[in-house]
Amino acid sequence: MDCPAESTNLDSAISAYQHLLRCLSLIPISHYFLGICFLLLTFLYFFWEMHFLQDFFTGFRGDPVVLTFDPSSQVYEEVVSKCKLLHGRFQPTPWLSSPHLQTAFMSFFGNSPSFSYKREIFHTPDGGTLALDWLISSDIGGIALHKNQMINKEDKTPVVVVVPGLTSDSEAPYIKHLVFKIAKRGWNVVVSNHRGLGGVSITDSGSMQKSVKMCDGFPFLVFELLSVTKGIEGVDNIVHVLMLYIVEEEDDALSDCFYTGGWTEDVRIVVKYLHGQFPDAPLFAVGTSIGANVLVKYLGEEGYDLPLVGAAAVGSPWDLVVVLYEKFMLDEIQRFSGSLHFKQFSLGDSVLVSFLLICAPVVLMMGSRFLIRKHQQRFYDRFLTSGLKRYAQLHQHALSRIINYEAVQKSRCVRDFDKYATRVMAKFRTVDAYYRHSSSVNFVEDVSVPLLCISAVNDPVCTGEAIPYDECRNNKNVVLATTKHGGHLAYYEGITATSLWWVRAVDEFLSVLHSSPFVLGKKEVQSSSSPSSTDPSVDQGRFVNIIKDGAVAELGSEQRNGEVEDAHHDHLLKTTKDNDTAPGVIE
């Protein structure tokens, strides 16, 4: 008796769907195309973290710069309070209203100024070779920034040391923006390239067997004593005895040496050397990306005994531990899930395994104060890994004697590269031990000179969750400036995107600092820690971590052209081409 009724209901449902399909078929295909395009654009807008509409409805006014510092900080009162840019707004370029667009534009286009460096080849006591690229003179628009080709030892012009990011050198666009801006002020700028970058080969132990490590009373230079005394009767033996006495004879001291994210010795000896060469010139330092991490770590290690009078750290990764570990765990979970064959499980077991695979990332996130990185950031991880692998390939002759080169070339992420290469070269037992030792977040509270830190909350490489708000607030010598937008080392502003906001902010900070009592009157720096600022402020701090660093720049040629002997310090010079506002928080 019920069968006819059920059949009637089924026919009615089928008829309704037929009417619906008939109506949908009447809609023009072009409308479907427009709808799909709208959905795609909406997806891309949010996936790439665009903020054009928000900027449009606010009149492209930008967002205020948020300053975090100790309320009793004299660095803020004497210096930062007089910096207009740090108390203004950052207005990003309208057509670069995304951290990914900002970062990509910096990496692939740059819009950097054109000028020529003067190169100085610097030998470190352990046998390493660094390229120090100076901007002493430039001819941009017919204006020479420096008339003299050399810097006199008595020159009192400020000198700024720039430490580039991961796999970047002096030719990186953001470095050239910074160097040109500071040099335009009339200051001398030197880029301290990392070992093996800037077109300089990794020094092998065979070529450095004649290198002599000078004691602390001498400049950190390496003289080729054997080449000078060769053929002079009786002197050869004296030189050999002298070398045996003062050279570190251990194999480690003469082995190949590479830079890492926590290697501060190169910055230390370069700063000490520059201070010895120009004792009357105020010495500043600027670090970018992984270079900022190295610089802050160096400042914290040195404490009060260092020749720098001020520094700036831009786009630092801060903490190298947790995010890399969580990303590694997520990759392992995905790899494990891809290898599972659910047919071998019962229905109940399959449901349980599926539940665990879905919940594992959530458990990782809830079990730490650090958030899991977004999917977009994995692209940057792969990009940085490619740059590191090119670096390894460039120096294969030296690396292959120390590490498993084949495993390095199979690295899928930065952590893999650090596992097979960096950890081994830096002599750490585990990758996490290397990360913990190298993270500058552990040293920022010990910085004793005026330090400006600039970070973008939406930085896709050095994630904003890693920014150490509490640690910076707990040091009277540190002022942290954070912006809502900016990308990684980009901060393009203006319609033409020819200016970088952070470059102008650093230039202004160094200028005001140079004319402040900290430099002119040799004012004593404050104690690093502050008892009044030890209260936790988790609600104001964004926590997490970072992966590695920096915009990847193409490496230059390994050849050296136009070498000139420097009569002043026996180096080689080379001209290369070309909310409620809490105390200490200001918006």
Residue by residue, DSSP assigns 439-507 as: -GGGTGGG--S-EEEEEETT-SSS-GGG--HHHHHTBTTEEEEEES--TTTT-EESTT--EEHHHHHHH
Q: 50: buried, middle or exposed (CB in 10 Å: 19+, 13-18, 0-12)?
A: middle
Does the pLDDT at position 175 exceed 90? yes
- Over residues 272-295, the mean pLDDT reads 96
Residue 407 within a domain: yes
Amino acid at position 465, single letter:
E
Domain containing residue 351: 330-436
Identify which has the larger pLDDT, 403 or 333: 403
**Number of structural domains the chain divides into:** 1
- Over residues 500-522, the mean pLDDT reads 92
Identify which has the larger pLDDT, 163 or 359: 163
Instruction: Out of 11-15, 174-178, 361-365, give the one with best mean pLDDT.
Output: 174-178
Which tokens is 468 given?
């150490």
Does the pLDDT at position 456 exceed 60? yes
Contact, 114 vs 143, CB < 8 A?
no
Kindly report the length of the chain.
587
Which tokens is 142 given?
């017919």
Q: What is the model's pLDDT at position 523? A: 61
Residue 423 within a domain: yes
Q: What is the model's pLDDT at position 74? A: 95
Half-sphere exposure of 98 (CA within 13 A, CB side): 13
- Over residues 212-216, the mean pLDDT reads 35
Q: Which of 16-20, 44-48, 564-568 is least confident?
A: 564-568
Half-sphere exposure of 350 (CA within 13 A, CB side): 7
Pairing state between β 159-163 and 188-192: parallel
Does the pLDDT at position 339 exceed 80? no
Taking each helix axis as running N to C, give the angle between helix 347-366 and helix 322-339, from 0 to 180 degrees, rounded to the nearest 10.
Answer: 170
Distance, in Å, from the CA atom of 441 to the CA atom of 445, rounded to the nearest integer, reads 8
**Banded model confidence at residue 324, pLDDT cuts 50, 70, 90:** low
Half-sphere exposure of 256 (CA within 13 A, CB side): 19
Contact, 261 vs 443, CB < 8 A?
no
| DSSP structural state of residue 418 | I
- Over residues 190-208, the mean pLDDT reads 78
Which tokens is 477 given?
């010598």
- Over residues 9-16, the mean pLDDT reads 67
Distance, in Å, from the CA atom of 79 to the CA atom of 517, rounded to the nearest integer, reads 9
Does the pLDDT at position 143 exceed 60? no
In the chain, what percentage of residues exceed pLDDT 90?
A: 48
CB atoms within 10 A of CB 125: 18
Residue 35 within a domain: no
Residue 215 within a domain: no
Does the pLDDT at position 267 exceed 70? yes
Average pLDDT, the chain: 76
Contact, 167 vs 550, CB < 8 A?
yes
E strand or H helix that includes residue 271: helix 265-277
Does the pLDDT at position 357 exceed 90? no
Q: Which of 294-308, 358-372, 469-483, 533-547 is least confident?
A: 533-547
Residue 247 within a domain: no
- Over residues 103-127, the mean pLDDT reads 91
Q: Which residues contact 455 (CB under 8 A, 6 or more apart)?
A: 314, 315, 316, 318, 462, 464, 467, 480, 481, 482, 483
Residue 398 within a domain: yes
Please name which of 122, 120, 123, 124 lies closest in space to residue 136, comparing C-alpha atoms.
Answer: 120
Distance, in Å, from the CA atom of 494 to the CA atom of 177, rounded to the nearest integer, reads 15
Residue 46 within a domain: no
In the chain, what percentage of residues exceed pLDDT 70?
A: 66
Does the pLDDT at position 454 exceed 60? yes
Q: What is the model's pLDDT at position 465? A: 81
Mind listing the pLDDT tens digit for each residue in 555-580?
333 333 333 333 333 333 333 434 44
Residue 243 within a domain: no
Distance, in Å, from the CA atom of 372 to the CA atom of 545, rounded to the nearest integer, reads 9
Q: What is the model's pLDDT at position 226? A: 33
